[in-house]
Amino acid sequence: MASNFLERLPDKNALRPYSDEVGCVLRPSGRFIVIGPNICCDYAEYWDFFDHYLPLSHLSLAEGLEANGFIVTCNIPRFLPYTMLGRPAG
């Protein structure tokens, strides 16, 4: 499971070796669960966090994972609140 991690990768090139490693440690029927902010839902607030580098939407993440051999079985654009800390002050 990756929770609020992938957006902290420096760029899309860093996602490939990470997903390759996940694929190596998963059982053949294993699941990789990813939770994180969706740039489509909160574009302006996405960049309010100093450690967010990689802009990902539910569509771009699914495309990237499928390109690395994963099968996306469920894709929910907005599953959790944007942050567990509440909305950034504005």
Give residue-wise pLDDT tens across range 5-19: 999 999 999 999 999
3 backbone dihedrals φ, ψ, rounded to 5°: -115, 115
- Give the angle subtended at the CA of 72 by the CAs of 3 and 74, to the nearest 5°: 70
Element (H, E) at 67: helix 58-67
Nearest Cα residue to 62 out of 49, 78, 77: 77
pLDDT tens profile 34-50: 999 999 988 888 888 89
Please, are residues 36 and 4 in contact by the beta-carbon 8 Å criterion?
A: yes
**Structural domain boundaries of the chain?**
2-67
> Model-level pTM?
0.79
User: What pLDDT score was predicted for residue 84?
Assistant: 57
User: What pLDDT score was predicted for residue 83?
Assistant: 55
pLDDT tens profile 54-74: 999 999 999 999 999 999 999
User: What pLDDT score was predicted for residue 14?
Assistant: 93
